[in-house]
Structure 1
Amino acid sequence: MIDITETNFKDDDNEFAVLRAVIKKQIGFNCEEYKKAHLKRRLAVRVRANQSKSYKEYADLVLKNVDEMQKLKDCLTIHVTELFRNPEMYDAFSRIVIPELVKNKTISKNIKIWSAGSSDGEEAYSIAIMLREFLENKSGRYGISILGTDIDENILRKAETGTYKSEQLKKISKERLEKYFVKTDENSYQVINELRRQVTFKNHDLISGQKLSGFDIIFCRNVTIYFEQTLQERLYLDFYNALNDGGYFVMGKTETLNGPASKLFIPVNPGERIYMKKR
């Protein structure tokens, strides 16, 4: 939160509401239902950088300075992720969920997965690797489609390349690195084409974007934690409706399945926040 005493900052609720409206209109970032404390912490970074004395002063700057508008967007859409982040979740999912999912694919061999809030694609590609390792030489029998969505177009363009720095691959074993990545320079690796073809990326706003559907699995981890509870509950219902019967929903470990949707899912592994849609 901005330290008013230290910065002589005018923390006015009306001006804050105006700035949120500017952000929504000019940047396309719908922050109306973000937790106020979280949003103010993010805004404080740019407010301090520009030594603005009020939300109005900063809003005026954003409206006339394209460079600052982009810096604000980058600040609001900070992406903290890595391949196989929380590896214990992937282990549990691979042991418990994938065998059941594949066993039930008796008629249609298509597997459709949504990585919501996919950032630069690390989760989506981790899922692709996890499926390939389980299916091995049978993977060609299945139509695997993984959709990664985010509101940041720049980060989506990066995701499409499937290229990562060595530090982003620190949880990747040497065997996986050699099997599923190609070294492109001294400090960068790219996901092999065969896996990249299974993954597509799309600009999509969870809050105000179109409703998606037809998925066997939805991953939305460490995203809803920033939203007010009313929005969380609405999104969980959206995910429920987007899943096929018996589909699986995976949340972040710090998130809680609340509201009406909590009665519509069966816990598969509560510790790893893995749930199944009731049939």
Structure 2
Amino acid sequence: MNETEVEDENYSSLKSLINKNLGFHCDQYKDTHFKRRIAVRMRATNSRDYSEYIKVLKDNPDEYRNLMKTLTVNVTNFFRNPDSYQIVENDVLPDIIKSKSNSSNKSIRIWSAGCSIGVEAYSLAIILHQLLKNEFKKYRINIIGTDIDNEALSRAKEGKYTETELKGVDDKIIDKYFEKKDGWYFISDELKKVANFKWHDLIAGKKMSGFDLIFCRNVTIYFEKDLQEKLYMNFYNALNQGGYFVMGKTETLVGESQNLFKPYNSRERIYYK
């Protein structure tokens, strides 16, 4: 077996190890992306090749935590891509509210898929609160954030954020919806009550349904095309009729979903069912 074949075999062994111990479906990710993320931890642990990094993982199980952080790393802050949020605030959410206002079932269900530390879910909660004002409590609002990173989910459940994550947010919003304590900014209890965070694997997890709005931004870019097709159809099926889907600015619908989703604002990658 030549050197390349040995390295390929070690890479496969490493993926099996990660899958087994982290439940992370390595084969569904693009190799280029996956290898780049692995290389970050290999450099950090002075591992010259995959076999050395496998040894690090076996000798030091704590390294799995560092690896998981690197595999799921996501630069995130409140109201990221403000142009998209502007359309959601001006058009999308008012349309959803209008469709519910005359209904006995004043239920608004939103899914933030790949929610990381929860800034997207709470950004939407803030917008809803500003739109509904005194009517906020009259609606049954449920914003569900899902991710496979348990540490990120813990932060989301606590609702605690750094100054960096709130960079660019209007001071009035920070004063109204956050409490500063010990250098952290804590989201208000009223908004925390409408947001629920849970572990969920987009690839192998149970299918979800009944949503008026789904955000899944900058998650599917790391997946192979056939998996993207499957996920977009899952999102389509998870939406109520007339529901909206918001994806990342660099992402594109593929497969059957291209024909089923109707563009609402193509530039901002906002579609509806």
Trace 1:126-165 onto structure 2 (pairs within 5 A): 126-165=123-162
| Contact 1:109–1:143 (CA under 8 A) maintained in structure 2 | yes
State percent identity of aligned pairs: 50
C-alpha separation between the residues in 2 aligned to 1:11 and 1:147? 44
Trace 1:1-279 onto structure 2 (pairs within 5 A): 12-105=7-100, 106-107=102-103, 108-185=105-182, 187-277=183-273
C-alpha separation between the residues in 2 aligned to 1:169 and 1:10? 47
C-alpha separation between the residues in 1 aligned to 2:58 and 2:21? 8
C-alpha separation between the residues in 1 aligned to 2:6 and 2:53? 12
| Contact 1:63–1:69 (CA under 8 A) maintained in structure 2 | no
| Contact 1:120–1:156 (CA under 8 A) maintained in structure 2 | yes
1:171 Cα shift?
A: 2.0
Letter of the 1:237 counterpart:
M
Determine helix, strand or coil for the equivalent of 2:263. Answer: strand
| Contact 1:42–1:75 (CA under 8 A) maintained in structure 2 | yes
C-alpha separation between the residues in 1 aligned to 2:203 and 2:75? 20
Determine helix, strand or coil for the equivalent of 1:147. Answer: strand
Aligned residues: 269
What is the TM-score with the length of structure 2 in the denominator?
Answer: 0.94
C-alpha separation between the residues in 1 aligned to 2:228 and 2:132? 34
Further displaced range: 246-255 or 165-174: 165-174
C-alpha separation between the residues in 2 aligned to 1:49 and 1:11? 23
Q: 1:93-117 CA deviation, whole Å, 9 max, x = no partner?
A: 1111112111111322100000001
The runs of 5 or more residues in structure 2 that have no matched partner are: none
1:238 Cα shift?
A: 0.6
C-alpha separation between the residues in 2 aligned to 1:12 and 1:34? 19
The runs of 5 or more residues in structure 1 that have no matched partner are: 1-7
C-alpha separation between the residues in 1 aligned to 2:148 and 2:256? 26
1:14 Cα shift?
A: 2.5
C-alpha separation between the residues in 1 aligned to 2:83 and 2:113? 20
Aligned-CA RMSD value = 1.6
C-alpha separation between the residues in 2 aligned to 1:258 and 1:11? 35
| Contact 1:84–1:90 (CA under 8 A) maintained in structure 2 | yes
C-alpha separation between the residues in 1 aligned to 2:193 and 2:25? 31
C-alpha separation between the residues in 1 aligned to 2:42 and 2:179? 41
Determine helix, strand or coil for the equivalent of 1:98. Answer: helix
| Contact 1:11–1:55 (CA under 8 A) maintained in structure 2 | no
